[in-house]
Amino acid sequence: MTSIDRVLITGVDTRLGAAVRDHFAGRGALTVGTVTAERDPGPGEELTLTADPADRAEVGHVVAKAAAHMGGVDVLVVAHGLPVVAPLADQPMAEFWAHVDATLTGSFLYAQAAADHMRHSGTGGRIVLTTSRWHVGGDGLAAVATAAGGIVALTKSLTRDFGGFGVGVNAVAIGALDSEWSVCDSAVGQPPGGRTGTVEQAAAVIGLLSRRQLGAAVGQIVNVDGGVSRNRV
């Protein structure tokens, strides 16, 4: 492993993904970002690649290109998902599955491809998935809850699949956060902390979970939602 982290971040055109990239860049890491074909990657000189997160071949290609560019991948952060809110009776199945595929399938494919590089390099690494605190369900959040609940289960499973070759997997469940995901929080009210969180705060938690020094702290879902959640996952 190099002394400088080599970090692949999906969804750097989202507010959370951009904050995560800024966080790692601020601590001297090398970064490569990804965006989907439909969105503008925004300004910046760092390498940004385009892939459909639900397309195995495209995901494999960008992970390989990122690894070649940085000389390997030490950390993967998956942050490309965006919420879909719609009344259950009115939601088209195409819209439902598009969200589930982009977030849940995309998380699996990126984790699978990145872990393969980490394994073959012999360095191991850390993977941090992001999801919504609404894995518990909510009005108009059928697609969000389905994908988020799947990511909770996926995090637990990947920890067992990848742990043997030194890859630790955790997830961050966000809510009551000033981001694209705040549309899911209309019924929450004021969080116990008295204020809405920021994507920079979530990025700092993700940065902490990416550190190998955490050792056995894997397979965990960390809520970053101002204390709104009272569930244990």
pLDDT tens-digit readout, 110-125 = 999 999 999 988 889 9
In the prediction, which pLDDT does 170 show? 96
Q: How does residue 4 score in pLDDT terms, banded at 50, 70 and 90?
A: confident
In the prediction, which pLDDT does 70 show? 96
Q: Please say if the pLDDT value at position 228 is more than 80.
A: no
* In the chain, where the domains are located: 6-224
In the prediction, which pLDDT does 41 show? 65
In the prediction, which pLDDT does 91 show? 79
CATH for 6-224? Answer: 3.40.50.720
In the prediction, which pLDDT does 1 show? 43
Predicted structure pTM score:
0.91
CA dihedral 139, 233, 52, 206 (to 10 degrees): 110
CA distance 220 to 207: 15
Residue 136 identity: V
